[in-house]
Amino acid sequence: MDVLRTPDEQFEGLKGYDFEPNYHDITAADGTPLRIHYLDEGPRDGELILCLHGQPSWSYLYRKMIPLLTDAGFRVMAPDLIGFGRSDKPASMDDYAYQAHVDWMATWLTDLDLTDITLMCQDWGGLIGLRLAGEHTQRFKRLVIANTGLPSTKMISDDVSEMLGQMYPTLPVPDAAMVAEQFSAGAPGAFLYWVKYAAESPSFSVRDVFGMLSGVSDPAILDGYTAPFPNDDYIAGARKFPFLVPMRPEGKPDRLAGDKAWAALEAAKLPVLTAFSDGDPVTKGGEKAFMARLENVKNVTIKGGGHFLQEDTPEPLSREIISFMQTT
C-alpha cells in the first residue's frame, strides 16, 4: 500500500499540545511498514491509562486531560490510530478495515508489552479498544467507556443489517448541515447520513465535523485538529471510519468478532465506568448496553459535553476517572 506521513512542521506550535512524540514501527499484513505515534506522559511507575481516540480526532483530543491525570500520579499513553495524527496514513480508503485497525493496535500493545491497563475509550477508540480488551483481557485492569459502542449480532441483527444495507444507496450524498439536521431531529437513519457524508461527500471537512459534534469555535484549536491533514490526500482514514461500523451485511464478520469480545468482557468482570455525555447525538443511550451486560459497572453522566467530551468537559471526565481508579 502507498503510505503518507504528515510533515513534522504541521505539528509545531499547536495550542495546548506540548508533548514529546514517541514512535513504534509495526508491519501490516501485506508487509508494509507502518509507524505509530503515541504520547507517554507521567510517572513510569504510575498506573497506566490508555487513551484511545476516534474519528476524525487524534491524541490532541486528550491534551487537556493528560495533565490532570498525570498530576494525580497516573501514567498516560495516547496513541494516534493509523491514518490519524502523527501516525502513518495509508493513502487509499481501500487500505482500511475494522479488523486491520484492531490488528495494528494489538501489535503495538503487545510489542510494548503493556499490562495493568485502564482503558479510556471514546468513539472508534471504543470499537477498537474494547475488541483489544476482549482479545487481551489479561492485560486490562479497568474500562472507562465514553460515547462509544461495541457492535455485535445482538445489537445489529441480520434483518436490521439487510434493511440498512438496502437503505444506504438510496440516500442522497449529504453535506455537513444535512447530517447535523438528521442528528438534531433524532432521525432513525441519521447515522447512515453520517456514513455517506464521510465516505462520499466532496465537501467532507474535519473542521466541519468538530463544528457539528462539539462546541469548538476557537480557530487555533480547530487548526490543531486539522493539523494531521495538510490536504485531502491525507484523509482516507478519516473518510473510511464511519463506513467501517459493521451495520450492513458485509460487516457481519466484525459483528461476530464483537460477539466474542462481549463474551470475553462479560467473563472477565473488570470494573467498568460508563461516562457518556448528555449532549452527544451520535451515542445517546449507548451506556445502557454496557450496564445491562457487564458486571461491576458504575454509570455517570458527564453534563455539558458533546460527542468529543474530552474537548468539551475534560475536568469532570478526568475527576470521574481519577475517583474510579482510586476506589477500584
232 catalytic? Reply is no
DSSP 50-89: EEE--SS--GGGGTTHHHHHHHTT-EEEEEPPTTSTTS-E
CA 318, CA 64: separation in Å to the nearest integer? 9
Q: Please answer whether residues 50 and 75 qualify as being in contact, where contact means their C-beta atoms are separated by less than 8 angstroms.
A: no
Partner residues linked to 23 by β-bridges: 37
Counting every residue, how long is the chain?
A: 328
123 catalytic? Reply is yes
Per the structure block, which three cell numbers stand in for 54? 476516534
* Residue of 118, 149, 17, 62 lying closest to 322 (CA atoms): 118
Per the structure block, which three cell numbers stand in for 85? 495524527
Q: Please answer whether residues 24 and 108 qualify as being in contact, where contact means their C-beta atoms are separated by less than 8 angstroms.
A: yes
Q: Please answer whether residues 15 and 220 qualify as being in contact, where contact means their C-beta atoms are separated by less than 8 angstroms.
A: yes
CA 192, CA 161: separation in Å to the nearest integer? 12
* Residue of 65, 109, 21, 145 lying closest to 312 (CA atoms): 65
Partner residues linked to 3 by β-bridges: 90
CA 234, CA 138: separation in Å to the nearest integer? 35
Question: Which residue reads 494531521 in cell numbers?
Answer: 228
Which of the following is catalytic: 95, 101, 307, 312?
307
Q: Please answer whether residues 280 and 254 qualify as being in contact, where contact means their C-beta atoms are separated by less than 8 angstroms.
A: no
* Residue of 83, 56, 81 lying closest to 210 (CA atoms): 56
Which of the following is catalytic: 80, 88, 95, 123?
123
**Residue 320 CB neighbour total at 10 angstroms:** 19
CA 192, CA 259: separation in Å to the nearest integer? 22
CA 36, CA 33: separation in Å to the nearest integer? 10
* Active-site annotation, residues: 123, 280, 307
